[in-house]
Structure 1
Amino acid sequence: MSVVEVIQSIDQNYVRSRIPRVAIVGTGLVGSTTAYALLLSKTPAEIVLINRDKRRADGHVQDLRDAEVFSHTTRVVAGHFDDCCSADVIIITVGVSQSGQRSRLESLNETAAILKNLVLKVARCNPHGILLIASNPVDVLTYAAWKWSGLPPNRVIGSGTSLDTSRFRRRLAEHYGVASDNVHAYVIGEHGESQVPVTSSARIAGMSLENFCRELGLPHDEDMLRKIANDTRATGLEIIRAKGATYYGIGTALARITGAILRDEHAVLTVSSLVPESMGLGEVSLSLPTIITRDGVARVVSIPLDVSERHALEASAETLKQYIAALKT
């Protein structure tokens, strides 16, 4: 082992021996809600809120510290961008607001210009940190962040369809009358219009949906499953049109992903990351069931798909690749 490798190893071991640090860049609705969700999850960490308007970050910190006494394991501070250099996880939430009048892919280049500058700065000073992208369109920007940063693909993750998967499971649970944590089903592909809710390999109590219905004497209604899938796809825009933005769900999803990283959980989550060549989808970032560890992406899992789901996933990948090709920065 060379001297440089020894020093890098020592640096990495030091980073892992101290209290983990999570830097949240952008303290709008999503960033501040993510900090609150992390606080409630009692994830042992120091949360650093970073915002161009320092006064806003300070205000959030004062408010969050009133909740800090109930957590005991999490500390919240306001910081500067330099704090990203020593962070274990850097969550980028800038530019995530949606108007409800534009798709996630329409505002791509505007958000990309902001994001590129941030990503380049982080990559230069923190080669061991994990980038967690929440900015939309998240799949395209996760891919772009990986290209810009030069970081290994396992260290650049997007929130992806983690929120869509939770919405899908909740709707299935409500329909079948079971607790949502007993439903194992995934939404894959793009976090957006071309997402693919997978019903063919969905399971309740270890049984396919069809077998579960047969066991309980329930009707297996394919039309209802299609409605659940469509409702899942439309939920985000419905919330935006009703109240202007979504933040509770995505903030909690980001906290869940961050906790899985810091606790080295080996949890299976549908995050966006660079798709392995073996998947046959080309060079693109999108969501698939993924094992998340302290090093980020440990493995992307291939789940069984029926013919229509496979075609839909391929179409989703092609849609994202078109927008990647149109990226101007």
Structure 2
Amino acid sequence: MLCTMSLKDHLIHNVHKEEHPHAHNKISVVGVGAVGMACAISILMKDLADELTLVDVVEDKLKGEMLDLQHGSLFLRTPKITSGKDYSVTAHSKLVIVTAGARQQEGESRLNLVQRNVNIFKFIIPNVVKYSPHCKLLIVSNPGLFRVAYQEVWYRIVFSSV
């Protein structure tokens, strides 16, 4: 019988099974505009997660972007790419990147735009924290919206323990 194992294989045995360095490492991206998709593609190209989830309110665009990533990911290591309009798809994320926000409409004041974005963040952040309470948030948006995200997270932490 032909032996296919080398002498080294007979003598040296691994006592610790090596795991993928990013085992159970889920990253979610909220917002599939140009910035959100740039983040998603970078995550895939750098092999930063074993699961990537996209969230957006525009379902047709969301589905199209997810399918594009899934087709292209055949040549990458990220085994699972999912998407959804409901924030439950972000459950157990270690990192959530928030790129969502309203675009300024013609003739709209910056103050009105900021208020619309504040309202968007007041919806997004509690939903993210609900499903991934221990995640890190990366806010890729106007600096003023970081404060809104911080306040929403702080509020949930303080009042959930009461």
Q: Give the TM-score normalised by the residue count of structure 1.
A: 0.36
| 1:49 counterpart SS class | strand
1:42/1:108 CA distance change after superposition, 3 Å: same
**Contact 2:25 2:93 survives alignment (8 Å):** yes
Whichever structure has more strand as a proportion of its residues is 1
Aligned residue identity for 1:110: R
Residue 12 of structure 2 is matched in structure 1 by none
Residue 71 of structure 2 is matched in structure 1 by 66
| 2:138 counterpart SS class | strand
Q: CA deviation at 1:102?
A: 7.7
**Contact 1:119 1:149 survives alignment (8 Å):** yes
**Contact 1:91 1:133 survives alignment (8 Å):** yes
1:81/1:107 CA distance change after superposition, 3 Å: same
Aligned residue identity for 2:80: R
| 1:58 counterpart SS class | helix
Residue 108 of structure 1 is matched in structure 2 by 114
**Contact 1:44 1:74 survives alignment (8 Å):** no
For residues 39 and 101 of structure 1, the distance between their equivalents in structure 2, rounded to whole angstroms, comes to 38
Cα deviation digits, residues 187-237 of structure 1 (max 9, x gap):
xxxxxxxxxxxxxxxxxxxxxxxxxxxxxxxxxxxxxxxxxxxxxxxxxxx
Q: Give the TM-score normalised by the residue count of structure 2.
A: 0.69
Q: CA deviation at 1:63?
A: 0.9
Instruction: Find the partner of 1:146 among 132, 144, 150.
Output: 150
**Contact 2:28 2:53 survives alignment (8 Å):** yes
Instruction: Find the partner of 1:56 among 50, 53, 61.
Output: 61
**Contact 1:21 1:45 survives alignment (8 Å):** yes
Residue 42 of structure 2 is matched in structure 1 by 37
1:42/1:117 CA distance change after superposition, 3 Å: same
Cα deviation digits, residues 128-154 of structure 1 (max 9, x gap):
01111123x2x22112211111278xx
Does 2:72 match 1:86? no
Q: CA deviation at 1:47?
A: 0.8
**Contact 2:83 2:89 survives alignment (8 Å):** no
**Contact 1:20 1:88 survives alignment (8 Å):** yes
Aligned residue identity for 1:112: V
**Contact 1:42 1:74 survives alignment (8 Å):** no
Residue 28 of structure 2 is matched in structure 1 by 23
| 1:90 counterpart SS class | strand
**Contact 2:43 2:49 survives alignment (8 Å):** no
Q: CA deviation at 1:100?
A: 10
1:143/1:76 CA distance change after superposition, 3 Å: same
Q: Which residues in structure 2 correspond to 1:218-233 (within 5 Å)?
A: none
For residues 141 and 95 of structure 1, the distance between their equivalents in structure 2, rounded to whole angstroms, comes to 9
| 1:78 counterpart SS class | strand
| 1:27 counterpart SS class | coil
Q: CA deviation at 1:103?
A: 8.8
**Contact 2:102 2:116 survives alignment (8 Å):** no
For residues 47 and 35 of structure 1, the distance between their equivalents in structure 2, rounded to whole angstroms, comes to 8
Q: Matched residue pairs, number?
A: 134
Cα deviation digits, residues 119-174 of structure 1 (max 9, x gap):
12222333201111123x2x22112211111278xxxxxxxxxxxxxxxxxxxxxx
Structure 1 unaligned runs (5+)? 1-16, 153-329
For residues 111 and 52 of structure 1, the distance between their equivalents in structure 2, rounded to whole angstroms, comes to 14
Q: Which residues in structure 2 correspond to 1:55-204 (within 5 Å)?
A: 55-73=60-78, 75-79=80-84, 80-95=86-101, 97=103, 107-135=113-141, 137=142, 139-150=143-154
Q: CA deviation at 1:82?
A: 0.7
